[in-house]
Amino acid sequence: MAMRKREWIDWLKALLIAFGIAFIIRMFIFSPIIVDGPSMLPTLHDHDQIIVNKFIYRFNEPERFDVVVFHASDEKDFIKRVIGLPGEHVMMKDNVLYINGEEIEEQFIEDNNIHTDDFTLELLPGQHESIPDGYVFVLGDNRNNSTDSRRESVGLVPIDQIVGKASLIYWPFDRIQLVKE
């Protein structure tokens, strides 16, 4: 009888340790997120399930074209692509992206029907001449249907509000792949 009790205690310890490790991984390293809406088409589809790397930005700053999840409000997280970094000027003219006056190719936009209205950083919410330190400029890949840094409700995103980097689409199975940068 004592052997059975010891076995149960060993199983209980193993389960508690497993749950503890899973909790730490989920809270601090990786987290599953479900994409809600078409704003990141064609890269991410509505209802794609992805893994977000929450650990990467503890050691590195976001880079241009990273797909990030950030707190848009207390109730809602958004997923968008980093376009502009601190100190940079962002402009879109005739469907071409310019950073600090240089044309930037966006290889992740495959659909020629995607049209982005012209804008300059100065004409957007906040009317900045360049992106301030501690902030990034984000856009959805589906520019025709995206609430992003061009909108007052989002604006420039504080780096400390970024949850992590979208790394892997794991569901549905036919879409399993690394997230394109």
Q: Under a CB-based contact definition with an 8 Å cutoff, are residues 57 and 67 in contact?
A: no
Candidates 1, 7, 148; CA nearest to 70 is: 148
Mark whether 80 is an active-site residue. Answer: yes
Question: Residue 26: which residues within 8 A CB-CB, separation 6 or more?
Answer: none
C-alpha distances out from residue 66 to 10, 105, 181, Å: 44, 14, 6
Catalytic residue among 54, 80, 149, 165: 80
Of the listed 5, 13, 31, 39, which one is catalytic?
39
- Report the distance separating Cα 126 and Cα 152, nearest Å: 8
Helices (H) and strands (E) in the chain, counts: 1, 12
Identify whether 165 is a catalytic site residue.
no
> Mind telling me the catalytic residues?
39, 80
